[in-house]
Amino acid sequence: MRLSVHDLTSSIRAIVARRAVVLPAVLSILSMIGWAARPLAAQDLSCERGDREVRALRFAGNREFPASVLAATVATIPSSFAGLPLVGERRCLDPVEFSRDVQRLETLYRRRGFPDVAVDTVVRTVRTGVIDITFTVKEGEPMRVSAFALRGVDSDPEIGVAARDFPMRVGGLFDRGALEAGRDTLVRRLRNRGWPQAEALLAYTTNTAQRTADIEVTVVPGARARIGRIALDVDTSNGPRRVTDATVHRALALRTGDWYSARAIIDAQRNLYQTDVFQRVDLQPDSIQPPGDTIVNLTARLVEGDRWAARGGLGWATLDCFRAQGTLTDRDFLPMAQRLELSARLSKIGIGDPLDGAPDLCQGQARSDPYSRTLNYNTSMTLRQPVRANQARVLSLTVFSSTLSEYRAYLRRTPIGGVMSISDPFARKSAPRTPSTLSYQLELGRTEAEPAFFCAVFNACDSELRNFLQRNNRLAALEYAITRERMNDPLRPTQGTLMRVTLRHASTLIGSDRTQQFNRAIGDVSWYRMLGSATITAHFKAGVVQGSGSGAGVGSFIPPQERLYAGGPTTVRGFRQNELGPAVYIVSAYEEVTENGQTYYRVGEATQTERVVPTGGNTLLVGNLEAQWPSPIAPRLLQLAAFADAGRLWNRGGSVRGVSLASEGPIVKITPGAGVRISSPFGAIRIDFGYNPYDLPAGAAYFNARPQKGVAPLYCVSPGNRLRVSASSVPEAPAIQESGACPAAFQPVRRSGLLGRLNPSIWIGQAF
Instruction: Map 517-561 to HEC letters.
Output: CEEEEEEEEEEEEEECCEEEEEEEEEEEEEECCCCCCCCCCCCHH
CATH T-level fold of 226-304 = Ubiquitin-like (UB roll) (3.10.20)
pLDDT at 654: 52
CA-to-CA separations, 75 to 67, 70, 94, 97, 240, in angstroms, rounded: 14, 10, 9, 6, 57
CA distances (Å), 764 to each of 8, 269, 483, 541, in order? 9, 33, 21, 20
Cα(87)–Cα(627) distance, integer angstroms: 12
d(CA 468, CA 460): 9
What are the Cα distances from residue 18, in Å, to 28, 317, 566, 764?
A: 15, 13, 20, 19
What pTM value is reported for the model? Answer: 0.70
Q: What type of residue is 613? A: V
Q: In whole angstroms, what is the distance from residue 29 CA to residue 410 CA? A: 34
For the chain, give every domain's residue range. Answer: 53-138, 144-220, 226-304
What is the per-residue pLDDT for 679? 87
Instruction: Give me the DSSP letters along 191-209.
Output: HTTT-TT-EEEEEEEEETT
* Right CATH for 144-220 from 3.30.420.10, 3.50.50.100, 3.10.20.310, 3.40.50.880: 3.10.20.310
Q: What integer pLDDT is reported at residue 306 of this predicted model?
A: 84
Integer Cα distance of 189 and 743 in angstroms: 70
Tell me what pLDDT residue 573 has: 95
Per-run averaged pLDDT (10 residues), the chain, 768 residues: 38 38 39 37 56 93 91 89 59 92 95 94 93 95 94 91 91 92 94 93 93 95 92 86 84 89 91 84 82 87 88 86 93 77 95 91 85 94 72 82 91 95 72 80 92 84 80 94 90 90 96 92 96 91 82 60 92 93 91 93 84 90 95 86 96 57 64 93 87 91 82 89 90 87 88 85 84
In the prediction, which pLDDT does 610 show?
81
Q: Fold identical between 53-138 and 226-304?
A: yes
Q: Are strands 619-630 and 295-304 parallel, antiparallel or unpaired?
A: unpaired
The SS3 of residue 307 is coil
d(CA 323, CA 302): 39
CATH number of 53-138: 3.10.20.310
Are 458 and 477 a contacting pair, CB within 8 Å?
no
Do the beta carbons of residue 252 and residue 271 sit within 8 Å?
yes
